[in-house]
Structure formats: structure tokens, C-alpha cells
Amino acid sequence: MTHDLTPAATLGEPRAPGTQTRSPGEMALPCILLVEHDDNLALALNRWLTQHGYVCTRLRDASQVHDTLVSAQPALVLLDAALPDNTGYQICQDIRTDPALSRLPIVLMTPRSTALEHRKAQALGATALLPKPFRLHELETALKQLAPAHP
């Protein structure tokens, strides 16, 4: 069972940080930066996020994360813990060192969900940990709690 998440702003309201408009006159939608190297998972998440009222910007590796954070100004980052060129933990820590991004919610997706992983993720600045594989309702719950307030 899925529930629709309402867009962040209504027609005519100014664009808030973390939102994007698809074209002039359309609603501002929350933007999610998805950093995931697995193409199949990224495709499924992109489709689900789009169907639930989000704009999804996807990266396969860490090389463009900082530039994309600046240009897309996402409302939330879904970050794979195991990327080919870096770890999600290191990226999370790097994001937290930038004062302009210090409050950006980061959901770290990891294949391990131990108490040690939770402590490590929290210590490095992750807002939430989502163990892989996860059910879509778990993602939906995290987004409802961490994405911009919906009117």
C-alpha cells in the first residue's frame, strides 16, 4: 500500500530551497539527490520517487556530489554506503563539513544494519540509516519525516 506525498508548494508560491519546478506555472516539487551505483535499484527508486511527487536527480558515484548539491539544492540525499569511488560514510562526513549543507537530511542506504553501523552513520552525520534491501514503505516513512514540510 502506498500513500501519495503532497508536493512542497502550491501553484504560484516561490520556490523553496530543496524544491524544483518542472516548467513555468507548475508546482514546486521536493528534489531528492539519489547517489546509487546500482542501475536497477536507481531506476526503481527514481520511478517511485517521481510517482510520489518528487524530482529525482541521480548520480552513480561520488565524483559530482558536491557540484550537484550546489546546483540542485536537494531537500534530501539518498546515499549508497558502498559506491565504487568512495564510501557513503565519507561523503556524508564531507557534506557535514560544509556549513551551507550542515542541516541537509542524509539517508544512508547500507547492506548492514548493525548497532555499530548505526553509531558510525550517526557519528559521521547521517540523519537516518536505511538497511538494504528495504521496503518502499520504510523509504516513504523516512521521506515523510525528513523531506520539507508538506502543506
pTM of the model: 0.80
Mean pLDDT of the 50-73 span: 94
Q: Is 1 within 8 Å of 50 (Cβ atoms)?
A: no
How high is the pLDDT of residue 113? Answer: 80
Q: Is 90 within 8 Å of 121 (Cβ atoms)?
A: no
**Superfamily for the 29-144 domain:** Response regulator (3.40.50.2300)
Cα–Cα distance measured from residue 81 to residue 77, given in angstroms and rounded to the nearest whole number: 12
pLDDT more than 70, % of the chain: 79
Distances, alpha carbon 88 to alpha carbons 65, 79, 92, 109, 110, in Å: 11, 6, 6, 8, 9
Residue 112 has pLDDT above 80, yes or no: yes
